[in-house]
Amino acid sequence: MVFALPDKYFLAAGFAEGATALNAFDNALLKAGIGNTNLIRISSILPPAAVEINPQILPFGSLVPTAYAEETSDQPGVRVSAAVACGVPEDPRLPGVIMEHHTQTDEQICRAEVVQKVKEAFAVRGYQLATIKVASASGVVKNIGSAVAAVVLWS
């Protein structure tokens, strides 16, 4: 099977509670607008010249290449946070870099950590960074909660 090189991407994020950890994660995916699909977890490269689009309603059961972060907890009162950052290079012939971070702390700390990861990845590659796109979700757990943030690749 040959997969087409995705040429579009969008960011999504959500927080939700559930009766189990898996249900909380599933509910967070639904809240983020990417539930009812089959996420194919990818490592962290954005195809060259990929264009950011508005979040899409994806066909049910689609195979969706996705870089995502998730943090789930069953400890009431704990804050869970997840963030993704997508670094876009100045040169559209080069790939971008997607980084993920998840933690049991403040959402702003999580966002700052993921942005730093992108900056380091660009420095190591010697690429010039044009922009960084960030999506994050956070919430205080009541029973069992999950935060999810994702970069969804699409053709």
DSSP string, 5-23: PP-EEEEEEEEEE-SSHHH
For the question of residue 100 being annotated catalytic, the response is yes
Cα atoms found within 13 Å of the Cα of residue 126, Cβ hemisphere only: 0
Q: Which of 70, 71, 100, 113 is catalytic?
A: 100
For the question of residue 43 being annotated catalytic, the response is yes
H or E segment and range at residue 114: helix 107-125
For the question of residue 44 being annotated catalytic, the response is yes
For the question of residue 155 being annotated catalytic, the response is no
Q: Classify residue 151 as exposed, middle or buried by CB count within 10 Å of its CB (0-12, 13-18, 19+).
A: buried
Per-residue CA distances from 49 to 5, 6, 52, 91, 151 (Å): 11, 10, 10, 8, 15
The residues assigned a catalytic role are 38, 43-44, 100
